Amino acid sequence: MGRSYLDLSKDEKEHALALHKESIVIDSSIVSVIEYVTEDMWLDDVMKGGLTASNITVGMQRRFTEALQQIIEHNHWAKKNEDRVIVVKKASDIERAKKEGKHGIMYGPQDSMFLERDVNLLDVAYDHGLRAMQLTYNWKNEVGDGCREKKDSGLSWFGEAVVERMNKLGILIDLSHTGDQTCWDAIEQSKDPVSFTHIIPRRSAPEKVGGYAEWANRATSLWGDFVGYSKQRGKPDDMMQACVEKGGVIGVTPFFAKKSGPSNLTDDLMDQLDETVDIVGVNNTGFGSDLEFPNTVMRAAFIYKNPDRIDVDYFTPMDKEWGYGFMENMPNFTMGLVARGYSDQEIKKILGLNFLKLFKRVWGA
């Protein structure tokens, strides 16, 4: 374990905060919420945390009409909040969001099941703003197999057609939850770079998780062992290296980073980031929170009304400085990078420039 962000001097902390403020900061995977009052809570949260842009999960429905309706609703919401929100359709929109003090939102569903075996529907979704898509979530679909399936047969014929169409349109292929063989097939077939937007290395996945991952075990107990899931969601060294050799970027997630016990999430996350840099290099590493904001809101509301139930009904998912998962404390991530000895330019790359470069290559400038 390297140096803790808690050990920064006053000058180092101030330097980290200034660096964070001037940087383009990209969250390569977050589950936002725009319904009812929470829509402003989410937007306030990411902007307070200095995030320039987020790849948000939309379109997870099984039917295309429902998925498209959700994307359209987000477009309407963005229009209503155009003083603070930009829908990102090309990489320069992220740079514009930074310049104008706004937040860029990218549409990236974590499953392709909404396509209903019709590759032409990708064109329609693209026209409405879709710019990234996971081929599978945890389970098998018409494209391929997810990481939690007992067997992985790789890309289907339809899956190959989807990869080809995503390349043609300029939609980033995300393989974060995808099964190993399906990942290998997609990496080999894709003409464009692919990405793991929110993973940790399989080799360093904690044997016993803590924090939010431990809490989430309660919701996923019917799926089997959650510690096994942390390994399934992690990716092996050679696959991560194959991804970046194709021009891809690895987004390190805090979701599985917290070890069981008294450690804090920021330092545990830095351990995973150091491992990732060791495998793929600093020029190919980024950040993807995998924060499911609707659940965060529910947890925070519950604990606000039932403070005596902390660590009874809900395990504290992050160290106190991160509260209950809100992104307003994203500057802790930058302080962690300073503590681990990364240079200012390396930190800027990890915070956002690496993903921005990837987006320029896939989407265009």
What confidence tier does 303 reach under pLDDT thresholds 50, 70, 90? low
- Both structure tokens of 225: 């062992």
Top-confidence residue, 95 or 220: 95
Q: Per residue in 223-238, is it b (16+ CB within 10 Å) or e — as a string?
A: eeebbebbbbbbbeee
Backbone angles phi, psi at 310, to 5 degrees: -60, 135
Total Cβ atoms within 10 A of residue 220: 14
pLDDT, tens only, 155-192: 999 999 999 999 999 999 999 999 999 999 999 999 99
Share of the chain above pLDDT 70, in %: 85
Span 73-90, mean pLDDT?
95
Q: Is the pLDDT of residue 341 over 80?
A: yes
What letter does residue 174 receive in the DSSP assignment? E
Q: Is the pLDDT of residue 314 over 50?
A: no
The CATH classification number of 5-107+193-360 equals 3.20.20.140
